[in-house]
Amino acid sequence: MKDVRLGKERLYKVLMSPVVTEKSTRGTEQSKVTFNVALDASKPEIKKAVEDIFKVQVTAVNTLRVKGKLKRFRGRVGQRSDRKKAIITLAEGSSIDMASGL
C-alpha cells in the first residue's frame, strides 16, 4: 500500500465510532475489530488511523457501505443516513480493548 500522510485532525475524523453488536463482538475472537468510518475514507487512511491511534499492527482492512433505511415517523417518510463500516484484521498478538475507550 502507498504511504499515507494524515494530520492528527484527519486521524480522528476517519474513525467515527466502534460498532458494538453481537456479530462484531464475535469477531474479536479472530482478532477483528469493526468501526464506523467516514464515507470518504479509503482503506490506506483507515489502516494508518488505526495503527497511529491504537498503536497496533493492522494486516487487512475490509470496508462496506450500508445504505440508510427508509423509515416512517407519524406518517412522514424519512431516510436514515448512509454509513460506512470497516472490519479491521489485527496482527497476531495485537488487540484493542473497546471497553476501556480512548
**pLDDT tens string 70-95:** 999 999 999 999 999 999 999 988 88
- The string of pLDDT tens digits covering residues 22-38 is 999 898 889 999 999 99
Q: What is the CA radius of gyration of the chain?
A: 15
Percent of the chain at pLDDT exceeding 70: 94
All structural domains of the chain = 8-90 (3.30.70.330)
Q: Would you state the pLDDT for residue 19?
A: 92
Spatial contact of 46 and 15, defined as CB atoms under 8 Å apart:
yes
Instruction: Kindly indicate the confidence band of residue 2, based on its pLDDT and cuts at 50, 70 and 90.
Output: low
Which of 34, 44, 57 has its CA nearest to residue 10?
A: 44
Report phi then psi at 77, rounded to 5: -90, 135
Q: Would you state the pLDDT for residue 98?
A: 72
Question: CA–CA separation, 96 vs 22, rounded Å?
Answer: 17
